Chain A
């Protein structure tokens, strides 16, 4: 395991400091009660940083340990990242039961399709398996968050700013990780000597940026959960079919108009 470059050490120190501040802020503003999984995710990040620090401080460990620990801790952290993002989405969608049901079904479908595509795309590429898995995960994750934002926009559900910033932070980090891993694999690895510090710096710096965004998001307590009056099924049963039928009629009329235009 090589020594970390000075620039990487600095940005890493700043990132850890930001993580500690954020972790403390979650408790100070009592946001940990509503975001327990995010709090756990932050704890995981700090644990990961501590484990890497331990590896760099102890030079007598086996090569396998140096190889395995960072990736295992990364995998565990990524699982908690997905859970934390789901928790945030569930929290602001709780008043919209139907939309929440539709959202998680849609996102599961998107994730399954992307997973199948990525497995097919990377099959046999064992040399890059871990990096490919990491990139694939981030790609799926970013697509899921964007899909969620699109659904919210379509249904005119206003996402409260703290949740919006939290999800944007997750998405931004995943997108930059896809970019960083792609550039690393396709350009730096074979063409640039001493590529590792560049890759490390880019990864840690993007994560530090996300921490700043999250600090802004969680600086205040989260907005109170306003329970919406959810009407019984009868409202949608009365109105929705009526609207749908009329929208269809309108569309058919336009279709006839189009045919008329083509003929004339």
Chain B
């Protein structure tokens, strides 16, 4: 068996597998479904940052350890950590929604700049890599809460400004509605 045989047959099998995966309909992500309700009701997960910060405050932990028991403090800390991780996951979902919105706009635009698209793609990949690393570190030990505040603020501002921009396009309200429904459906349809 030569190297050429392995390379060509390997690539062909890989392409066939990719074809099977790509022929399947895109999965409807659970987070998109769950996030839709929040988005429609006008609430964003980032708005709950104050409560999340409170949930991880060291004062609370010290107070519980002092007045209650160490066991109780640990249990509360564990529960709160779960809440923070869920919150972090929702922040990622906000990013994903905006990223997808950017792609939908690009798909509907008469001109698409390749350089801009490549830059946005790289940004998305870098964001997800960083996010996973941070999440992993946060799972292993206590995370840096002040920095989370900055992340939260950016996402929140972005969401608000986008909504303002979208609503200002009054004459294109129908288009905006179509884009929003496309986001929820998980795909653009030509039929």
Contact = CB atoms under 8 A, between A and B. Distances in A.
Interface of A: 92, 95-99, 101-102, 105-106, 121, 135, 139, 142-143, 145-146, 149-150, 153-158, 160, 164, 168, 171-172, 175-176, 178-179, 181-183, 185-187, 223-226, 228-233, 235-236, 238-240, 242-244, 246-251, 253-258, 260-261, 264
A253 B154 CA distance: 8
Contact of A254 (B12, B105, B120, B151): B151
Interface in B100-148: 100-112, 114, 116-117, 119-121, 123-124, 126-127, 130-131, 133-134, 137, 143-144, 147-148
Q: Which of A102, A179, A238, A239 has the most CB of B within 10 A?
A: A239
B1 interface: yes
11 contacts: A139-B11, A158-B188, A187-B1, A231-B108, A233-B109, A244-B120, A247-B124, A250-B95, A251-B126, A251-B130, A261-B134
A243 B112 contact: no
Contacts of B116: 240, 244
A235 B175 CA distance: 10
B188 A156 contact: yes
A49 B18 CA distance: 31
Contacts of B102: 240, 243-244, 247
A146 B120 CA distance: 21
Contacts of B133: 258, 261
B131 A254 contact: yes
A103 to B, nearest CB: 9
Given A105-B114, A228-B108, A231-B108, A242 B165 contact: yes
A179 B190 CA distance: 35
A139 to B, nearest CB: 7
B50 interface: no
Contacts of B137: 261
A231 B109 contact: yes
B2 A186 contact: yes
Contacts of B112: 98-99, 101-102
Contact of A233 (B18, B111, B166): B111
B78 interface: no
B111 A179 contact: no
A260 B137 CA distance: 11
Contact of B161 (A101, A228, A240, A246): A246
Nearest to B117: A102
A185 B2 CA distance: 10
B15 to A, nearest CB: 5
- Chain B interface mostly: helix
Contacts of B108: 96, 98, 228, 230-231, 235-236
Contacts of A171: 15, 19
Given A135-B8, A175-B12, A95 B190 contact: yes
A195 to B, nearest CB: 15
Contacts of A253: 147, 150-151, 154
A98 B154 contact: no
B191 A238 contact: no
B30 interface: no
Contacts of B191: 158, 160, 223-224, 226
Contacts of A223: 190-191
Contacts of A225: 190
A89 B149 CA distance: 45
Contacts of B150: 253, 256-257
Contacts of B123: 244, 247-248, 251
Contact of A178 (B8, B119, B147, B188): B8
A39 to B, nearest CB: 22
A43 B162 CA distance: 53
